[in-house]
Chains A and B, each alone.
Chain A
């Protein structure tokens, strides 16, 4: 026996499929119901959200070599700022932002650091938040947790990651991470990487008035708990232990500042399945908010 029913023709829905949704990061079109941009892998939720809001979110690039502590920093940043303070308030937007905070805190509870971010752009967390500094108006900021390996591959032309270039093109500021412990012990892979990033940014085409030399860049010496002198004067620390990086920053960039940051008080290492994993021996975040606060003030 057959039964008849009336189905509404959802023409609006079809129209959405016809009109492409432009990715917020790379600007290329995607079908309306796709989760991620098929060109760069950025979540399309950012674009949908930007369309619905009057204020367009500002992009901030957080870049550094592998294992410099970017994910740990971003997770701790949103954890600290989500506690109301007089200076700054932050509201996480979207599932991704909570995800990075949750992963970081969960790892710390188990005496571990967060797992390294996968090079697969579909696995990246995108920190999207509303920031309010000293009761001024709310600013929307998007700060993706990019994989250090992906950035490395993009810089070396090994594997193209269009999202990295698109992000750098649109970002209004950047946080560059260097491992304080490594540069203090003479291992300079990290500062060479950072120098590559700075040259890459400064070589990007575009309006010279809005080029990277004129955008604010915070250089954060991460894992500074292992080099206490870094906290005393991060600027002097970089000048002493990474003179090439110091020279490049001071000559190529106009708006820059050096910071020291750490999350763990000290670390040991566990040999697990043949891999040496860092184990935080205590959690005492220090210098986490300062770079973000400086950058927020500079981006106005």
Chain B
């Protein structure tokens, strides 16, 4: 609407100037006539240049390093009391979600509460309550894929995939040794959840440290159990499968690819969801790398960098008669990876799965938190729902 007003204003100025020159000519005021004619024609020539229409609804997302610096600054400004120091420590370690739990938030000072809320809004994107068309019978054992409407309550989702540097904080804080974070099934197989040197950590690390230079790369080589333990440590959880789909299908999100395909008449299922993957690559890319999917609704690299663990058991959305069998317990994966071969698999509607103990080079994760489980963060930073969402 704004650009239509701009075009109207520009043309009005031009037409008024030309009209002024005509009036000057009629009244034999040649100076006024010539000046008005030149200015008017110039205005029309300049302003009639095509106005660039916005093709993408972008939500600005600060860089991860900037967010981390801000969180450290928030933490250092919280004061010197014991509770303030604890809050600062939690915010610096990405565990701000714990502070926003209702039971803990009441005991925090206003500064700490505001700091935690700011950290949440910087790191996570709010996804409003709403429905999605959730695909079932995806593997088409009998019949075609069908879509069913599912209502999703509001939740927050990480803007970025969990990185090596974030996961290292968990490892160094003794997360692998904290039994409260791990399920009984996980504790049985803890001896296999080690790095290349046999120490606790993701599969491709050594001495519980990630390879040099990969600090902003998504953490990979982690089983579902490790992803789940990390999520619990930071006071969050893994995304439910329908939540993940909702995060990628929020209404109003338009990507340049989607626009291009729609205008070229090649609108398909993938385009409807508005995501596509980057070209095939050999390894993951850093989380701050701009990809075709960056921006959009503020969630970065939802599709195309690494597969992402979700919290739902494989087959739970399928009709029992059509359910596939597996050799081991599996969880759904979403998001496709750098090495996904088919474009049709690099879409928010596609789902895959892997065993709970799969520690592969192309599987990472991001976390979420239900809005109802925390205090209203928007209120504590002086924002209304409309301004943020």
Contact A279 B324 (CB under 8 A): yes
Contact A283 B324 (CB under 8 A): no
Chain B stretch 221-253: residues in CB contact (< 8 A) with chain A:
none
Within 8 Å CB of A265, what residues of B? Answer: 307, 352, 354, 360, 362
Inter-chain residue pair count (beta carbon < 8 A):
65
Check: A275 CB closer than 8 A to any chain B CB.
no
Contact B341 A268 (CB under 8 A): no
| Distance between B74 CB and nearest chain A CB, rounded to angstroms | 40
Within 8 Å CB of B342, what residues of A? Answer: 108-109, 283
Contact B330 A268 (CB under 8 A): yes
Chain A stretch 214-271: residues in CB contact (< 8 A) with chain B:
228, 265-266, 268-271
Within 8 Å CB of B360, what residues of A? Answer: 228, 265
Check: A120 CB closer than 8 A to any chain B CB.
no
Within 8 Å CB of B353, what residues of A? Answer: 266, 268, 281
> Which bracket fits the contact residues of A?
20 to 34
Contact B139 A279 (CB under 8 A): yes
> Contacting B141 at CB < 8 Å: which of A108, A272, A282?
A272
Contact A284 B341 (CB under 8 A): yes
Check: B325 CB closer than 8 A to any chain A CB.
yes
Contact B140 A110 (CB under 8 A): yes
With A228-B360, A272-B141: A281-B325 Cβ-Cβ less than 8 Å: no
With A265-B354, A268-B314: A283-B340 Cβ-Cβ less than 8 Å: yes
Q: How far is the CA of A272 from the CA of B337 in the complex (A)?
A: 30
> Which bracket fits the contact residues of B?
20 to 34
Check: A286 CB closer than 8 A to any chain B CB.
yes
Check: A34 CB closer than 8 A to any chain B CB.
no
| Distance between B189 CB and nearest chain A CB, rounded to angstroms | 15
Q: How far is the CA of A282 from the CA of B355 in the complex (A)?
A: 13
| Contact code string A116-135 (vs B, CB < 8 Å = 1, else 0) | 00000000000000000000
Check: B313 CB closer than 8 A to any chain A CB.
no
With A265-B352, A268-B314: A284-B140 Cβ-Cβ less than 8 Å: no
With A228-B359, A266-B353, A270-B141: A282-B325 Cβ-Cβ less than 8 Å: no
Check: A166 CB closer than 8 A to any chain B CB.
no
Check: A285 CB closer than 8 A to any chain B CB.
yes
| Distance between A9 CB and nearest chain B CB, rounded to angstroms | 56
Q: How far is the CA of A266 from the CA of B357 in the complex (A)?
A: 12
Within 8 Å CB of B140, what residues of A? Answer: 110-111
Contact A286 B325 (CB under 8 A): no
| Contact sample, A vs B, 21 pairs, CB 8 Å cutoff | A110-B140, A111-B140, A228-B203, A228-B360, A266-B352, A266-B354, A268-B139, A268-B325, A268-B326, A268-B330, A269-B325, A270-B324, A270-B325, A272-B141, A279-B141, A282-B307, A283-B341, A283-B345, A284-B339, A284-B340, A285-B339
Binding site for B on A (CB under 8 A): 108-111, 228, 265-266, 268-272, 276, 279, 281-286
